[in-house]
Amino acid sequence: MQRRTFLKTAGIAGGLMAVSPLLGLANANRDNDFPMMDLHVHTTNEFTIDDIVNIAKKTNIQFGIMDHPGFAIKTDADLKNYIDKLRPYPVYIGLQPMSPGWSKSFSPELLSQVDYVLMDPQTIPKGNGYNETLQIWEFDTYVDNADTFMEHYMAHTMDVLNCNDPLTIFGWPLFLPVCIARDYYTLWTKERMQQIISAAKKRNIAIEINDMSHTPHEEFIHMAKAQGLKFTFGSDTRDHKAGRLDYCKYIAKKCNLKREDFYIPQRIIRKG
Ligand SMILES: [Zn+2]
């Protein structure tokens, strides 16, 4: 009996020591100090826009939907259909093209109706010594030489960031193929990170904090923030995991990101 009382008291005292009430309150406020948006979600036949809207209602997370020009969206008619289908829903409408030069297939007028464009550098033409086009999200991505790969990856990243197409968000930043992922902190030198930040800065391109890949890391976020870049949260999900954003929330809090550090699409969305 005595022991139980002691444990209970010790537990309370320990709790008070760990988090002083004032500090706890400040942390709680800080939790809500960034916009809870997942701007990178895809629909499928099994995971529909209605499923996404249901998650949004339950969690109060604002979603932005993505689809790929060049695949499902090839022509102005396809793009118009995509926009018209999503317009009645309380979501942002985004595009995720796969390679530079994509916007030539669409009229500027129609493109201006899209809320934002995200591009990632994951499809790398001639990415290895075998002149293969790499899709680096695939676990069997073949890297013959890490240094040569990084040269090709950086060159392709610059092609993406410097493209002549509209670009709002740089997605999947610093992600590496599985076979060299253990060398992340060595391969991402300050110089390489700075090259990406400078190119993004030139066009005011925001950086996606990617929930699936847990990238980028703290140092990159601090560097980008210090130079005035904005961030977004993106899950790249196409199922019920949409909007979880655990890594995004964790690293944003750790880096002390605030509301003003985030890119927020301009269109006002009315929630019905
Ligand atoms: Zn995606």
- Is 148 a residue whose pLDDT tops 70? yes
The alpha carbon of 105 and the centre of ligand 1 are apart by a number of angstroms equal to 20
What superfamily in CATH does domain 34-261 come from?
Answer: Metal-dependent hydrolases (3.20.20.140)
Distance 96 CA to ligand 1 centre (A): 6
pLDDT of residue 270: 77
Average pLDDT of the chain to the nearest whole number: 90
144 burial level (CB within 10 Å; 0-12, 13-18, 19+) = exposed
Question: Residue 33 — pLDDT band, cuts 50, 70, 90?
Answer: confident
Question: Stretch 238-254: mean pLDDT, rounded?
Answer: 97
Task: Output 132 or 25, whichever has higher pLDDT.
Answer: 132
CA of 231 to the centre of ligand 1 (A): 16
pTM of the model as a whole:
0.88
Q: What is the mean pLDDT of residues 86-114?
A: 96
What is the whole-number distance in angstroms between the Cα of residue 10 and the centre of ligand 1? 49
Domains of the chain, by residue range, sit at 1-31, 34-261
Tell me the per-residue pLDDT of 2-32, one tens digit each, with 9 for 90 and over. 444 444 444 444 443 333 344 433 333 445 6
pLDDT attached to residue 71: 86
Q: In whole angstroms, what is the distance from residue 239 CA to residue 149 CA?
A: 32
What is the 269 CA–ligand 1 centroid distance (Å)? 22
**Amino acid 32: pLDDT:** 60
The pLDDT assigned to 40 comes to 98
Is the pLDDT reported for residue 121 higher than 90?
yes
pLDDT value of position 272: 59
